[in-house]
């Protein structure tokens, strides 16, 4: 059942969901450019940061078909539609961008992303489709312990940073009606930088665990 679920969400749904997310975001906002932004940010994040984590830093590995070294050919599209869907749920139509609403959207996006991504990765570790090279994994702890060690905070920060980046883009592209492609490129770069800082906490946490392990072994 877990493997069937992963095949569905990782291989069957990503492309149709990407098209669906473009459609529903355009229907809600009336902006094709903002819809493209939401998906572009998710696709680029899904290729760049997991690519670095798997093929450069070797922090984790994905097993299955359609792989490019240690991650999937369509990896960016495994992220984009689901990040867009979580943001769609968190950002209700017609919501004014007051500070209270912005905080609520960030918290909602972070919590939803944390739950959904942790569930996905627990299934992945359980079936062997995802290998995580962390201290809990080396200690042969359960899939739940391995994933929640980093995922609760890590995935939450990814969801919140994606929501925050999209809110900045929404204010610029939809509210202020700025459609300059140079501004669009700047917004994408800014979004990747914000999400990159969120992803960096995983590397910092893993290196801290490794340092503590080495320090304890030398005592």
Crossing angle between the packed helical segments 143-169 and 75-90, to the nearest 10 degrees = 70
Residue 24 lies in a domain: yes
Q: Which range marks the domain in which residue 102 is found?
A: 2-212
3-state secondary structure 140-200: CCCHHHHHHHHHHHHHHHHHHHHHHHHHHHHHHHHHCCCCCHHHHHHHHHHHHHHHHHHHH
Confidence of residue 214 (pLDDT cuts 50, 70, 90): very low
196: Cβ contacts below 8 Å, ≥ 6 apart: 49
Sign for the CA dihedral angle at 22, 24, 25, 30 comes to: positive
Residue 219 lies in a domain: no
pLDDT per position as a tens digit, 165-201: 999 999 999 999 999 999 999 999 999 999 998 878 7
Residue 114 lies in a domain: yes
In the chain, the percentage of residues whose pLDDT exceeds 90 is 62
Query: Residue 177, class by beta-carbon neighbours within 10 Å (0-12 exposed, 13-18 middle, 19+ buried)?
Result: exposed
The region that residue 67 occupies, defined by phi over 0 for left and psi between -120 and 50 for alpha, beta otherwise, is beta
How much is the average pLDDT of 24-52? Answer: 94
Sole residue written with tokens 């240690």: 70
Q: Considering the chain, what is the average pLDDT of its residues?
A: 89
Scored b (16 or more CB within 10 A) or e, 94-132 reads: eeeeeeeebeebbebbbbbbbbbbbebbbbbbbbebbbb
Residue 64's closest CA among 114, 128, 1, 20?
Answer: 128
Cβ(81)–Cβ(113) below 8 Å: no
According to the model, what pLDDT value does residue 219 have? 52
Residue 91 lies in a domain: yes
pLDDT per position as a tens digit, 40-73: 999 999 999 888 888 888 888 888 787 777 778 8
Residue 217 lies in a domain: no
Give how many domains the chain has, as a whole number: 1
Confidence of residue 210 (pLDDT cuts 50, 70, 90): low
């Amino acid at each position: 059942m877990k493997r069937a679920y992963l095949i569905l969400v990782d291989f069957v749904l990503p492309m149709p969901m990407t098209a669906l997310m473009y459609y529903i975001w355009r229907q809600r906002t009336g902006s094709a450019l903002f819809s493209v932004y939401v998906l572009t940010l998710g696709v680029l994040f899904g290729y760049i940061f997991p690519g670095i984590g798997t093929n450069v830093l070797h922090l984790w590995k994905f097993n299955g078909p359609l792989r490019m070294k240690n991650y999937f050919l369509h990896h960016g599209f495994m992220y984009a539609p689901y990040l867009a869907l979580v943001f769609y749920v968190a950002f209700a139509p017609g919501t004014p961008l007051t500070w209270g609403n912005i905080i609520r959207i960030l918290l909602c996006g972070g919590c939803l992303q944390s739950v959904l991504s942790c569930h996905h990765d627990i299934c992945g570790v359980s079936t062997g489709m995802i290998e995580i090279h962390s201290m809990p994994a080396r200690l042969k702890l359960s899939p739940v312990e391995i994933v929640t060690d980093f995922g609760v905070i890590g995935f939450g920060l990814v969801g919140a940073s994606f929501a925050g980046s999209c809110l900045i883009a929404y204010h610029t592209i939809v509210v202020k009606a700025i459609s300059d492609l140079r501004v669009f490129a700047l917004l994408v770069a800014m979004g990747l930088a914000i999400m990159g800082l969120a992803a960096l906490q995983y590397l910092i946490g893993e290196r801290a665990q490794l340092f503590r392990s080495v320090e304890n072994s030398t005592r």
